[in-house]
Structure 1
Amino acid sequence: MSNSRKRHTPEQVVRKLGQADRMLADGSDIAAVCRELGISEQGA
């Protein structure tokens, strides 16, 4: 069985975490941040 999930590079992870941090500080909720960044809320 192959793993078809997209893997992010370390640089992409750092960039998305920074974006998420700014969005959360601006009052966005976790679900909205995940939708905007195209990531799963599962591990949030």
Structure 2
Amino acid sequence: MKRSRFTEEQIIAMIKEQEAGMATAEVCRKHGVSSASFYKYKAKYGGMDVSDARKLKALEDENAKLKKLLAEQMLDNAILKDVAAKKW
């Protein structure tokens, strides 16, 4: 997945600016981001604090690690079943 140019803190600051009354187009222009990206960020980080965003990022990283481990284990099991199923 492509990494964002902005940190979670910067994204949350952008959202807070918009919620404070600044126009969305102006916030996007100021930070050099498209309105589609801004709304995507708002959907993901809207209503969060910086600490919440950090916890979310840590959970996403841990989830990705666990999914990778599970996939490797399932592959190992499939290989072992293949070897065991062959007739000698």
TM-score, normalization: structure 1?
0.52
What is the Cα-based RMSD across aligned positions, in Å?
A: 2.0
Gaps of 5+ in 1: 1-6
Structure 1 or 2, whichever has the larger Rg, is 2
Would you say how many aligned residue pairs link Structure 1 and Structure 2?
36
Q: Percent identity?
A: 22
Partner of 2:22: 28
Partner of 1:42: 36
TM-score, normalization: structure 2?
0.33
Cα distance per residue 1:1-44 (max 9 Å; x no partner) = xxxxxx634xx241332111211121011101101111112343
Give the residue type in structure 2 aligned to 1:8.
Answer: S
